[in-house]
Structure formats: C-alpha cells, structure tokens
C-alpha cells in the first residue's frame, strides 16, 4: 500500500514539474526581451534627435520638446506591457496550480469513494495483515496460521503465487498445503502437481502431493501416490509422515498387509505409552482382523455405494458444456482404474487450468459443464479470459501431469461468451 502512495505522489510531482519548469524558464525571457527592445529604440531615437540638432535641422526648443515626448512614450509603454505580462503569467500560474493540485485531488477522491471501499478496502486490509505471515510461512512451511485465519492467509498467498507466475515451488507447496487444510482437493492437486514438476526432489512436496492424491481417491493409494511415498521412504526410511500416510492409503485400498508393515515400523519410532502409539496399535489390530476375514472369504463382494447425482448450480459468467468421446482405436487401452480429467486452460497465460473436472474414466461419450465454480484460484477464472482451449486426458496413474501412455485430446481455440456454449472433442492421441 505504501508503494502505491509513493508511486502516485511521484506521478503527481512529475506532472507538475512538466508544467511548471517550462513556465519558469519562459516567464523572465518575455518580460526582459520586451523591455530591452523598448530601451534600444529609445536610445536610437535620442541619438537621431541629437544628430538633427547638431546638423541644424532642430533648434534647442524643438529638441527638448521631442525628447520629452519620447521619454513620456517610453515610460507609459514599459509599465503597461509589464503589467500585462505579469497579469497574464499570474493568471496562467494560478490556473496551472489549480489544475496540478485539483485533478489529483479529484482523482483520489473518486478512487476513495468508489474503489477504496467494500471488497477492495477489505482486500487491502487483509493483504497488509498477512503479507509478512506469508513470507514467514514460505521460509517455515510448517507454521500455517490457525484455521480461523487460514482462508484470508490463503488469499494473500494466492496473489503472491500468481505474481510469481507459478514458478516458485516453495510458494506452490505452501499453497497446496493450505488448500488441503481447507478441503480444496482439486486446487491442492493442481498446485502441488506444478510444484512437483518444478522440484521433484523435495520430500515435503512429494509427501503433500501424495496426500492430495490419496484424499482425492477416497483415501486409497494409486500408482502415482505409491511411487511418491516409496521415493520419500527410500531417502528417509523412518519418515513418520510417509509411513503414516502409506499405511492409511494401503488400509483403505484393502492392502492390509502393507498397512500393517508400515504402521509397525512407525510404532517402533513412537513412545509406547503415548496416545499416538495406542491409536497405531488399534489400527494394526483392525487391519489384522480384516486381513483374516479376507483370507476366510476371498470371494466376498462388497456392494459399491454411489453418491446420487446432483445437478450443478448454474453460475454467472461463461459456461462450457463439454462432450468428450474416445476414439474407437483407443477403446481397448481403457482400464477401469483410469482417471479422466476435463479442463479449460487460457490460450495465453498461466499454465494452471481455469476450470477442471476429475472423475473415473467410464463409458463414453462423457458430458460435463465447466464454469467459474471449478476455478482453482479466484484470480484464475473462465470469466477473466477471452480465449481458452478445452482438453481431456485419461491418466493411467491418476496424476494431473501428463505421463507416457496417457490418452489425450483437445479442442481448437474457443472464444468465450457470457452464458452457455458447447464444444465437442475426441481423445485420439497417446502421450509419447
């Protein structure tokens, strides 16, 4: 905020200098130039009168009369011109001062009563409150603010990530963790995927990315999250966060033996009488019981629960009805474990999707609606751009980043309108 006022003051000072400096330079020049000309004329006329007197063309009385008349003319001409020039310059300076000071004052007043109110004023206040906290948290990512302040903290962090152009992995990691705390899984997946693409060697980024994928898969492991956790454990075999998360994901995936192994390793690192150790022991016992039940009834079936379909609530702004089909020659490559991503990206701008939908890859064609409600960040919405490209990808590993073997397709350039529009595309390419 201080920067804004300093820049505004500098612009006003520059504009005033552009007007005042030329006036200061030209004002004395005009006045002195006119007076000098009058004095030169007076001296020339006096010399001519003296010459006429010496040569006898004028007597003493005529000479005195003409010289007196010349002096009178000079005295009356100079003050009149000076007064006129001074008056003109005084008026010019007065109006220049009024314009130089009045226009910025009116502009600032208009800004205060129109823009510096409501949401803008609240945002400036929030930004001033959390800007230092964001910088501190980037350097110490384990120090997130309390839940009641996390939403405002995340808004300021989003603005910083946007300003950095999604090129700083530490800021993206922190934003991903904030999204996880707020339960915004799609946003967490997108920014953590970008952070991992920029720096794939940081265990904390791999762990957070794996956590987001596990939560997005109803708490189950998939190929990508398993690989990430294994990479962390290869570097740090006793990493408690990775062991806990691997056991959690394996348990929900029905891999009870893996869950037991991970939790037993973690239990050996904990205080046996602590509450955490007791919870781990209970989890291990539960996994052992379920593993025994699996052995006794290997053919048992568990009915699948499917959430009832809900009609999306229409939102203002652009809405894209996307119909996605799969090329017939790629049908045999489709697997029940595959994940379908449908998204819209800016034709020119940041790499993050403006809207995205993630769902299991099933029967094609598939139809979804993309709108501002699916934005990952408030500053990156469909309504903020004029041209987008709609794409769809079938991921074999459930990763939001394209990998070799994934299937994909995209539309051409789409001009957005305010309201519903339709686009159809076909997944007909294999990522090489």
C-alpha dist (Å) from residue 185 to 166, 281, 349, 399, 401? 18, 29, 23, 13, 15
Stretch 167-191: mean pLDDT: 90
Instruction: Pull the structure tokens for residue 257.
Output: 């033996």
353-361 contacts, C-beta under 8 A, 24 or more apart: 353/190, 354/380, 354/381, 354/382, 354/384, 354/385, 354/388, 355/320, 355/381, 355/382, 356/186, 356/190, 358/186, 358/189, 358/216, 358/400, 360/336, 361/334, 361/335, 361/394
C-alpha dist (Å) from residue 242 to 91, 111, 210, 227, 278? 78, 51, 9, 11, 19
C-alpha dist (Å) from residue 230 to 242, 342, 404? 8, 29, 20
Residues 388-430: tens digit of each pLDDT: 999 999 988 877 778 888 999 999 899 999 899 999 999 999 9
Cα 331 vs. chain centroid, distance in angstroms?
39
C-alpha dist (Å) from residue 174 to 162, 171, 427? 13, 5, 34
pLDDT band at residue 7, thresholds of 50, 70 and 90? Answer: confident
pLDDT at 277 over 60: yes
Q: What is the pLDDT of residue 148?
A: 80
Q: What is the pLDDT of residue 305?
A: 45
Instruction: Pull the structure tokens for residue 279.
Output: 């919870």
User: 9-18, 46-55, 295-304 — which is least confidently predicted?
Assistant: 295-304
Residues 104-134: tens digit of each pLDDT: 777 766 666 665 555 666 767 777 888 888 8
Is 249 in contact with 213 (CB distance < 8 Å)?
Answer: no
Cα 178 vs. chain centroid, distance in angstroms?
16
Q: What is the pLDDT of residue 76?
A: 62
Q: What are the beta bridge partners of residue 184?
A: none
| Cis ω before 365 (30° cut-off from 0) | yes
Q: What is the pLDDT of residue 430?
A: 92
Q: What is the pLDDT of residue 211?
A: 92
Is 247 in contact with 228 (CB distance < 8 Å)?
Answer: no
Look at 98 and 191; give whichever has higher pLDDT: 191
Residues 16-40: tens digit of each pLDDT: 677 666 666 655 544 445 666 667 7
pLDDT at 327 over 60: yes
User: 85-89, 288-292, 375-379 — which is least confidently predicted?
Assistant: 85-89
Look at 224 and 79; give whichever has higher pLDDT: 224
The mean predicted confidence, pLDDT, of the chain is: 81
Cα 432 vs. chain centroid, distance in angstroms?
32
DSSP codes joined into one string, 316-336 = SS-EEEEEEEE-GGGGGG--T
Q: Within a 10 A sphere around the Cβ of 290, how many other Cβ atoms?
A: 14
pTM over 0.85: no
Q: Which residues contact 424 (CB under 8 A, 6 or more apart)?
A: 322, 323, 324, 325, 411
């Amino acid at each position: 905020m201080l920067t804004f006022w300093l820049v505004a003051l500098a612009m006003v000072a520059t504009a005033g200098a552009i007007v005042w400096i030329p006036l200061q330079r030209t004002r004395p020049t005009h006045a002195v130039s006119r007076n000098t000309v009058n004095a030169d004329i007076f001296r020339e006329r006096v010399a001519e009168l003296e010459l006429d007197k010496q040569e006898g063309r004028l007597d003493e009385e005529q000479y005195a009369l003409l010289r007196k008349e010349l002096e009178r003319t000079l005295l009356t001409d100079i003050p009149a011109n000076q007064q006129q020039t001074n008056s003109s310059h005084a008026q010019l300076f007065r109006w220049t001062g009024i314009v130089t000071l009045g226009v910025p004052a009116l502009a600032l007043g208009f800004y205060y009563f129109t823009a510096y109110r409501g949401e803008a004023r609240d945002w400036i206040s929030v930004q001033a409150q959390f800007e230092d906290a964001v910088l501190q948290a980037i350097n110490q990512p384990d120090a997130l603010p309390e839940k009641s302040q996390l939403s405002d903290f995340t808004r300021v962090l989003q603005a910083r990530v946007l300003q950095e152009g999604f090129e700083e992995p530490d800021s993206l990691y922190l934003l991903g963790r904030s999204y996880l705390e707020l339960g915004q899984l799609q946003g967490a997946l997108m920014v953590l995927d970008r952070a991992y693409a920029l720096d794939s060697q940081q265990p904390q980024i791999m762990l957070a990315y794996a956590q987001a994928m596990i939560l997005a898969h109803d708490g189950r492991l998939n190929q990508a999250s398993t690989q990430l956790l294994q990479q962390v454990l290869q570097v740090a075999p006793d990493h408690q966060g990775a062991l806990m998360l691997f056991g959690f994901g394996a348990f929900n995936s029905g891999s009870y033996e893996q869950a037991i192994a991970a939790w037993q390793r973690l239990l050996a690192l904990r205080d046996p009488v602590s509450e955490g150790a007791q919870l781990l022991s209970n989890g291990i016992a539960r996994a052992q019981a379920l593993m025994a039940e699996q052995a006794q009834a290997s053919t048992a079936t568990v009915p699948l629960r499917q959430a009832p379909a809900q009609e999306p609530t229409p939102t203002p702004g652009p809405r894209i009805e996307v119909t996605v089909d799969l090329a017939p020659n790629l049908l045999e490559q489709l697997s029940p474990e595959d994940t379908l991503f449908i998204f819209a990206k800016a034709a020119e701008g940041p790499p993050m999707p403006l809207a995205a939908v993630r769902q299991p890859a099933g029967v094609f064609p598939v139809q979804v609606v993309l709108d501002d409600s699916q934005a990952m960040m408030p500053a990156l919405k469909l309504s903020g751009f004029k041209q987008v490209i709609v794409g769809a990808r079938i991921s074999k590993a459930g990763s939001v980043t394209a990998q070799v073997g994934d299937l994909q397709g995209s539309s051409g350039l789409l001009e957005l309108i305010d309201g519903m529009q339709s686009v159809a595309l076909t997944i007909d390419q294999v990522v090489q």
